[in-house]
């Protein structure tokens, strides 16, 4: 059809409707909303380590080597020379890695469609009696890697696995090695965000070293009361340390933000594993997040607790009828989960990792 035959009738219609002041019918396009508040939507994202100056990178390298010679980064403050011996974590100058692989067991906004490039470090600076990954965190199984070898694996995960991010799991005791590995990977082509997946038992000095290298902090705030953390985590200062570390994490990267594809790129995502009988402590954690961190915190209230590690084992010297940590030797109830969730909502939290009510990721 000749273009003139289309334009002339359309022009006539426009003239008539303008004279009659009749609005033209507007055809509404069918679009799917992002279900994402604009302040948390990013058009694009560049990982923080890529904007680090060469001077700042050199200073971080120097600080990392210094901390290895006098290990005082994690709250245990062992003070050992890790080139010669080990502290409580039993890890020396090289990080011991149990698993490196694309992982599909994380939050949807973390794993996406291609998986999260997960690096599971062996050992930990806590001794949680219920540890859900005790075969990794309580045992020195795996392969010793230099920071350079570790950084090369990050690049392999990016290039071969096409992962959305590099997810460092239980890295609190190997922060100097992690720092050096990120800087090495940056110089060798790494371009995806870094996730620091932690128990929240981190010192402020440790987080200062990571500032500018980590894009997403993923702390798991476990317990509120010192007596509980002393019994179950073997660290009576856990809650106080976690409170300060989470506030420091938030001051660095802010609330969790996403690009339009639904993948988290920057911010803090806070987990809380609901424990049987400790829902009141979970409620206190929710109030802390709302009142002292941000009501816009993105929170994952997890319900998958199961008795594991040392929970439910027979006490030494008993005749078999006495179990260790019997108070948490059961699954968590729906009522306990609901108590924590209601406390979170009452405190003003509203961004939860729930199943989406639309065809796509929950943001």
User: Does 131 show up as a binding residue in the annotation?
Assistant: yes
Angle subtended by helix axes 147-159 and 175-186, to nearest 10: 50
Tokens of 258: 């996403």
CA distances from 180 to 75, 77, 87, 139, 205 (A): 20, 20, 20, 24, 16
Q: CB under 8 Å to 194, separation ≥6 — which residues?
A: 47, 48, 49, 165, 166, 168, 182, 213, 214, 215, 216
Q: Give the C-alpha separation, 7 to 14, whole Å.
A: 11
SS3 269: strand
Nearest to 265 by CA among 164, 188, 161: 164
Asked whether the beta carbons of 237 and 277 are under 8 A apart, the reply is no
Tokens of 110: 């973390």
Q: Give the C-alpha separation, 37 to 108, whole Å.
A: 18
Angle subtended by helix axes 54-69 and 175-186, to nearest 10: 150
DSSP 305-321: ----TTTTPBPTTS-SS
Q: How many CB atoms lie within 10 A of CB 116?
A: 28
Q: Give the C-alpha separation, 99 to 230, whole Å.
A: 29
Number of H helices, E strands in the chain: 11, 11
User: Does 74 show up as a binding residue in the annotation?
Assistant: no
Query: Number of C-alpha atoms within 13 angstroms, CB side, residue 122?
Result: 17
C-alpha gyration radius of the chain: 25
Tokens of 303: 């319900």
Per DSSP (E only), the strands in 1-91 are: 41-42
Residues annotated within a binding site: 124, 128, 131
Residues annotated within a binding site for [4Fe-4S] cluster: 124, 128, 131
């Amino acid at each position: 059809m000749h273009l003139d035959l289309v334009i002339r009738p359309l022009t006539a219609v426009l003239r008539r409707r303008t004279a009659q002041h009749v609005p033209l019918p507007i055809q509404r396009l069918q679009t799917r909303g992002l279900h994402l508040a604009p302040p948390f939507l990013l058009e694009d994202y560049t990982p923080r380590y890529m904007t680090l100056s060469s001077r700042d990178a050199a200073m971080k390298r120097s600080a990392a080597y210094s901390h290895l010679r006098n290990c005082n980064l994690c709250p245990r403050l062992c003070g050992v020379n890790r080139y010669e011996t080990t502290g409580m974590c039993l890890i020396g100058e090289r990080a011991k890695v149990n698993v490196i692989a694309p992982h599909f067991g994380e939050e949807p906004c973390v794993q996406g469609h291609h998986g999260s490039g997960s690096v599971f470090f062996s050992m930990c600076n806590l001794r949680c009696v219920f540890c859900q990954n005790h075969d990794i965190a309580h045992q020195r199984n795996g392969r010793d890697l230099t920071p350079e070898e570790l950084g090369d694996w990050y690049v392999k995960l990016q290039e071969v696995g096409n992962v959305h991010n590099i997810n460092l799991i239980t890295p609190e005791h190997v922060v100097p090695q992690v720092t050096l590995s990120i800087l090495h990977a940056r110089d060798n082509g790494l371009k995806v965000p870094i996730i620091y997946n932690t128990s929240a038992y981190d010192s402020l000095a440790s987080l200062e070293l990571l500032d500018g290298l980590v894009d997403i902090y993923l702390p798991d705030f476990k317990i509120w009361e010192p007596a509980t953390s002393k019994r179950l985590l073997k660290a009576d200062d856990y809650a106080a340390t976690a409170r300060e570390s989470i506030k420091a994490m938030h001051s660095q990267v802010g609330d969790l933000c996403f690009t339009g594809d639904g993948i988290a790129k920057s911010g803090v995502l806070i987990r809380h594993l609901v424990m049987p009988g400790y829902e009141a402590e979970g409620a206190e954690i929710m109030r802390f997040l709302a009142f002292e961190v941000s009501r816009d915190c993105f929170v994952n209230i997890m319900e998958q607790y199961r008795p594991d590690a040392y929970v439910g084992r027979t006490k030494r010297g008993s005749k078999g009828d006495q179990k260790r940590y019997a108070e948490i030797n059961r699954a968590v109830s729906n009522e306990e989960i609901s108590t924590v969730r209601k406390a979170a909502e009452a405190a003003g939290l509203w961004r939860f990792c729930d199943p989406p009510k639309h065809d796509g990721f929950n943001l």
